[in-house]
Chain A
Amino acid sequence: MKPDDPSISWVEPPELGLAGKSYLPLFVQGLTTTVRHLFSPKKTVEYPEQDHEIPDPIIYRGVHRLNRDEQGRVKCVACFLCATACPAHCIDIVAAESPWPDREKYPQTFTIDELRCIFCGMCEEACPVDAIELTSLYNLSGKSREEMIFDKEKLLSIYDQTCQAEPSRTQRSDS
């Protein structure tokens, strides 16, 4: 392609003007910006002593929980939609005949491998009965791999722990 090819559009840098070429306004501008930030409030948080402020806990994607219904039973109907939607294959459900008359199946075991989970929230999206939800708990840690595989009791206990601060979706839509 030649320089005088009509398909080339030539763009010149903008004129700086006398002030710009003398570099002085830019000099002052740069220094004032730096000094202003030197004394501005800090954005970072001293984490272990001070917790992060989560702007909206409802949409935050932290540790999972299994919701309970009004009678305290697990809400899950063992439909496997979450396990199917999960891109990391971290949900393992064993379904069994439901002891209750309002549904056919219930999860005999429900385990999530929190180490494989990528916290994408697809399970929450897929669930037809709003049984699985992501909470705003972010400081998830453990001393062994086994400890990080959460079973049904653990997931239900997370619901008990967080249901006051973060009501489940069905409860929210009621209000």
Chain B
Amino acid sequence: MIALMIETLVKFAVVVGGLMTAAAYLVLLERWIAAWVQDRRGPNRVGVPLTNIKLFGLGQPLADGVKFIFKADVTPRHVDRVLYWLAPAVVMAAALCAFAVIPFGSVLPDFLPADWGVEEPIRLTVVPALDVAVLFVFAVGGAAVFGVLLGGWASNNKYSFLGSLRSSAQLISYELPLGLGILGVAAAAGSLHFNEIIARQADSGWWNIFVQPLGFVVFIVAAFAEASRLPFDLSEAEQELVGGYHTEYSGVKLMMLLVGEYLHMITAAFLIVIFFLGGWHFWGLTDGVDSPGGDVVAWPAALARVAVLMAKVLLVILFFMLTRWSWPRFRYDQLMNLAWKVMLPWGVLNIVVVAAAIEFAGRWAAAWGISPAAATALAGWVALALAVVLTAWADPTTADNRPLRIPPALRGSSDET
């Protein structure tokens, strides 16, 4: 019991410490990418404090943190004090909670003396035994909406309120495609356990992105929307809403809200990697002793699994950051149309295809002379192509909501001008 507590506490410290450092340095990375994409240099001055050593600006996160902490923490007089103070805590707690079940590696080989009473092999997840880990992550992710909602409501400010209204409507809408994207993965793996989902992909060597491309597209779009990242950052559209739900926040509370957002992005990146990009698996590099996805591993493979997982997560985060500068923000009706008229049907189609593949892949494989996984992948890619062409043809996202309509008599005459 004591051994389990110590083990959990150690893992907890590693995860929380790692996450906070990662969030701080991702802010720096984001500023670098923003600068590089705009042909600037980005922060490159702050290095070791009190010296002249610059270190490419790697001291910037420390300076940012110190600045936030020493800023005046203003609580405006017109706010609802209890909720105003509660909101950053809720956002932060919800964002951190998700990492209780998200694996940051696979397993470690046995290395502790047997009389310590630690159950080996040690799994690199804070709470590895939770069988409904996927559900847990989504429940906690849903709770994060409360923080945004409370912050906007308690601020008693119209910009904040509009931001939180948009945000909650957006998050609730995109929960559906997000869930549908996962359903295919869970059905294919037959488990709601992260380790099991990764192990299935590792054993077959077919990552879910190859087998269920449609599900991947649906999930990654929904994940962007859930993390409130561009092109879906309607909740804090600076041009319209000042700062959105955190307009009235300053100092440490603002920092907590912003860090919470970064943690959401990290969570989304982890989920994308685990569900669709094979988690810690890389062909030939991370094989276990018995099977590619097995729990019995040697040290090199165990460390390679951690490194591969982190590298993949970093790549996905880089994609998140590049996306921010690549495409303009969606209009709100476009955002909703995309969720309900495109992503939802695509998600349903994905489930139908995956379910059919689970049932009939063996027969298709025999008929076409390929392996069952390849048959599933083929069905998936055909479904994706079909979905894209059908959507482009039906064009459900274009809605003419202008108050004045072109009179029928004048329709078509504009070609001449």
Contact = CB atoms under 8 A, between A and B. Distances in A.
Given A22-B389, A34-B37, A38-B36, A10 B326 contact: no
A70 to B, nearest CB: 46
B78 interface: no
Interface in A1-25: 3-4, 9-12, 18-19, 21-22, 24
A44 B42 CA distance: 10
A43 to B, nearest CB: 4
Nearest to A28: B326
B407 interface: yes
B116 interface: no
Given A11-B414, A30-B326, A44 B41 contact: yes
A73 to B, nearest CB: 47
A41 B326 CA distance: 19
Contacts of A143: none
A26 interface: yes
A12 B398 CA distance: 13
Contacts of A172: none
A40 interface: yes
Interface string B374-403: 000000000000001101110100100000
A4 B326 contact: no
A117 B41 CA distance: 32
A44 B36 CA distance: 10
A44 B388 CA distance: 41
Interface residues of B, number: 30
B115 interface: no
Interface string B319-334: 0001101110000000
A37 B392 contact: no
A22 B414 contact: no
A42 B326 contact: no
B406 A33 contact: no
B359 interface: no
B393 A10 contact: no
A34 B39 contact: no
A140 interface: no
A10 B322 contact: no
B389 A18 contact: yes
Contacts of B129: none
Given A11-B417, A22-B388, A38-B33, A3 B322 contact: no
Q: Size range of the interface on A?
A: 20 to 34
Contacts of B51: none
Interface in B35-90: 36-41, 44
B409 interface: yes
A27 interface: yes
Contact of A21 (B327, B392, B410): B392
A165 interface: no
Contacts of A10: 406, 410-411, 413-414
A9 B40 CA distance: 43
A21 B393 CA distance: 8
B1 interface: no
B39 A22 contact: no
Contacts of B38: 37
Contacts of B388: 22, 24
A3 B417 contact: no
A43 B326 CA distance: 19
Given A21-B395, A22-B389, A4 B410 contact: yes
A146 interface: no
Nearest to B395: A21
A34 B325 contact: yes
Nearest to B396: A21
Contacts of A33: 326
B33 A42 contact: no
A51 interface: no
Contacts of B41: 42, 44, 46
Contacts of A19: 392
B397 to A, nearest CB: 8
Contacts of A46: 41, 44
B341 to A, nearest CB: 13
Given A10-B410, A27-B327, A44 B392 contact: no
Contacts of B398: 21
B37 A37 contact: yes
23 contacts: A4-B409, A4-B410, A9-B414, A11-B417, A12-B414, A18-B392, A21-B392, A21-B395, A21-B398, A22-B391, A26-B327, A27-B327, A31-B323, A34-B322, A37-B38, A38-B322, A39-B36, A40-B39, A41-B39, A42-B39, A42-B40, A42-B41, A46-B41
Given A22-B391, A31-B322, A38-B36, 12 more contacts: A3-B407, A10-B406, A10-B411, A11-B417, A18-B389, A18-B393, A19-B392, A30-B326, A34-B322, A37-B38, A38-B33, A42-B41
Interface of B: 33, 36-41, 44, 322-323, 325-327, 388-389, 391-393, 395, 398, 404-407, 409-411, 413-414, 417
